[in-house]
């Protein structure tokens, strides 16, 4: 602290000196300073050696405007220099003067400062009355740039002002940002209080959904209720991450929910999936239960939320990796998945009917396992709708594509008719056949079971390209390898026949979702499986 005070005082002292040298009145300096012209020059008086500034005046000069009190007939005496000066006053008047200058400091005075506050010129000489012949002229007016370039004083002032202005701007921006944040926080808290009153305490998600199904349009919860639920959800932990974003397990009033947080680059997927889930009559026990969708954000970040039922068993992919199946559980999984796919593909006619929908990205990672051992189909971000009234296929404006490993031959070789909705339906059936193959591999018969593998695991790399899949599926017409033990079991043999009809190379030869559902339904009845 002491060092800081000393530093401030020194800085003030130097600033004062600079200001005095550059801006003070010349009158007080012409008689109070001296000049040393020759360090060897000495004067002897009474045998004592004197410094030049202490010698008696010996030089006579003409004086006008700067005459001392002892001047006679405009003549003064000095031991320094004679001078003549011209200067411009603040009001613009030009003044010329001459006189005597003491030896002390005359070196500086005769040179003068080009940075003086007023325009002036001073000339010096050192013979008697020599200043009568001097004719000093004013320097040209200084430009604005010159005014600032060399002046330490003005540089310091400008830098200080700049720092102060910038500091004030930063403080103002921070204060404004804080005010906005506080206002939004207050508004958010007020909304939460209103929301608590809007959805009475004790209402469960099932109650809200049942009410919307019975009294609403069948397209899901009202938007206000959805936004209310989204605001009140507490994120607990992340349970998954994919190319679209992240999946979190959250809680709403103690109930577990799944929160799918989309990357901002996947806004089209979020919008499409939200639109599909809110389609009239879309809710089905084998379609992932939709709860709410909302966009949260400020100017700096945006979160796209899709809130659905939470299934702790995870996806079929995760489930099969760590779980083996018996015949009953295999049929239960396959049949429930077929029911969900059939509901998607089926158009329901009526005043408020449901359009036919094709999934376009069916795979084991997009099928979730419910607690009762059945399946539900999820991730509808690439889904396609068919409007029978206008006979138009509603394809989403989305840069995403399906998973290459599960793509049908007509998709890989680009022969799929994009204007014909049935083409998308048949592509889904091919993908469904591969999912059934994944399930069947994990079914134990005779104490034998295969390890879980993805389709074509032994034919293509882990991340296959279009060319890899086209070569295997379209050119060589290969399909996933089937174990010989399947033919020795009645159930697996029937499943094998079913999946082969699903992944047929010709789309027209494939089964429909309804046919698959009925076939598996009969097998479920024969095995007396309770679903």
Residues making up the binding site for ATP: 260
CB 403 within 8 A of CB 467: no
Residues 529, 332: Cα–Cα separation, whole Å: 7
How many angstroms separate the Cα of 255 from the Cα of each of 47, 206, 310, 311, 501? 113, 10, 9, 12, 42
CB 503 within 8 A of CB 495: no
Please tell me what DSSP assigns to residue 346: -
Q: Following CA atoms 125, 128, 129, 135 in sequence, which dihedral angle do they give, to the nearest 10 degrees?
A: -20
Give the position of tokens 């049908």. 408
Residues 488, 482: Cα–Cα separation, whole Å: 12
Quick one: which H or E segment has residue 169? helix 152-198
CB 113 within 8 A of CB 29: no
CB 213 within 8 A of CB 220: no
Residue 450 class from Cβ within 10 Å (0-12 exposed, 13-18 middle, 19+ buried)?
middle
Residue positions forming the annotated binding site:
260
Question: What is the number of alpha carbons within 13 Å of residue 375 lying toward its C-beta?
Answer: 32
**β-pair partners for 295:** 304
How many angstroms separate the Cα of 41 from the Cα of each of 32, 72, 100? 21, 29, 20
Residues 361, 431: Cα–Cα separation, whole Å: 8
Q: Is 38 a catalytic residue?
A: no
Phi, psi of 99 (to 5 degrees): 170, -160
User: What secondary structure, in 3-state letters, does 232-298 show?
Assistant: HCEEEEEEEECCCEEEEEEEECCEEEEEEEECHHHHHHHHHHHHHHCCCCCCCCCECCEEEEEEEEC
- Candidates 76, 81, 154, 86; CA nearest to 115 is 154
- Candidates 463, 480, 354; CA nearest to 403 is 463
Candidates 112, 294, 309, 361; catalytic one: 361
CB 18 within 8 A of CB 152: yes
Alpha helices, H only, 313-420: 316-322, 327-345, 409-412
CB 240 within 8 A of CB 308: no
User: Which token pair is 227?
Assistant: 């936004």
Question: Max CA-CA distance within the chain?
Answer: 145
User: Which token pair is 199?
Assistant: 């959805």
Residues 59, 50: Cα–Cα separation, whole Å: 17
For helices 152-198 and 2-23, give the axis angle rounded to 10 degrees: 130
Positions marked active-site: 361
């Amino acid at each position: 602290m002491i060092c800081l005070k000393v530093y401030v005082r020194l800085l003030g002292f130097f600033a004062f000196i600079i200001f005095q040298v550059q801006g003070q009145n010349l009158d007080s300096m012409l008689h109070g300073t001296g000049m040393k012209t020759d360090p060897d020059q000495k004067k002897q008086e009474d045998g004592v050696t004197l410094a030049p500034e202490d010698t008696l005046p010996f030089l006579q000069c003409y004086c006008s405007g700067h005459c001392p009190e002892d001047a006679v007939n405009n003549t003064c005496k000095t031991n320094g220099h004679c001078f003549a000066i011209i200067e411009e006053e603040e009001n613009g008047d030009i003044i010329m003067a001459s006189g005597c200058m003491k030896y002390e400091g005359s070196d500086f005075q005769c040179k003068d400062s080009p940075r003086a506050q007023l325009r002036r010129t001073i000339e010096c000489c050192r013979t008697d009355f020599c200043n009568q012949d001097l004719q000093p002229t004013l320097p040209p007016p200084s430009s604005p740039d010159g005014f600032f370039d060399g002046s330490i004083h003005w540089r310091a002032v400008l830098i200080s002002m700049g720092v102060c202005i910038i500091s004030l701007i930063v403080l103002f921006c921070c204060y404004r940002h804080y005010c906005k944040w506080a206002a939004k926080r207050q508004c958010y808290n007020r909304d939460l209080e209103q929301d608590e009153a809007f959805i009475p305490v004790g209402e469960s998600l099932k109650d809200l959904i049942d009410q919307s199904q019975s009294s609403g349009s069948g397209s899901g919860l009202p938007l206000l209720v959805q936004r209310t639920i989204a605001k009140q959800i507490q994120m607990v932990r992340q349970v998954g991450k994919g190319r679209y974003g992240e999946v979190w397990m959250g809680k709403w009033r103690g109930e577990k929910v799944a929160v799918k947080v989309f990357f901002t680059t996947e806004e089209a997927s979020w919008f499409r999936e939200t639109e599909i889930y809110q389609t009239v009559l879309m809710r089905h026990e084998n379609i992932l239960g939709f709860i709410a969708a909302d966009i949260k954000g400020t100017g700096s970040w945006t979160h796209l939320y899709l809130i659905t039922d939470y299934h702790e068993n995870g996806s079929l992919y995760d489930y099969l990796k760590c779980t083996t199946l018996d015949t009953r559980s295999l049929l239960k999984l396959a049949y429930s998945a077929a029911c969900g796919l059939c509901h998607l593909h089926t158009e329901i006619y009526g005043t408020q009917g449901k359009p036919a929908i094709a999934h376009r990205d069916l795979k084991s990672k997009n099928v979730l396992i419910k607690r009762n051992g059945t399946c539900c189909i999820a991730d509808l971000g690439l889904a396609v709708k068919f409007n029978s009234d206008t006979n138009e296929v509603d394809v989403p404006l989305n840069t995403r594509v399906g998973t290459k490993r599960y793509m049908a031959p007509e998709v890989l070789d680009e022969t799929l008719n994009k204007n014909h909705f049935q083409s998308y339906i048949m592509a889904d059936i091919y993908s469904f056949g591969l999912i059934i193959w994944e399930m069947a591999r994990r079914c134990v018969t005779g104490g034998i079971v295969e390890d879980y593998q993805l389709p074509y695991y032994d034919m293509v790399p882990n991340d296959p390209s279009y060319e890899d899949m086209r070569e295997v599926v379209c050119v060589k017409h290969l399909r996933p390898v089937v174990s010989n033990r399947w033919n020795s079991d009645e159930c697996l043999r029937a499943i094998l026949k079913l999946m082969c009809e699903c992944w047929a190379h010709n789309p027209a030869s494939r089964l429909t979702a309804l046919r698959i559902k009925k076939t598996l339904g009969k097998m479920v009845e024969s095995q007396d499986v309770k679903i």
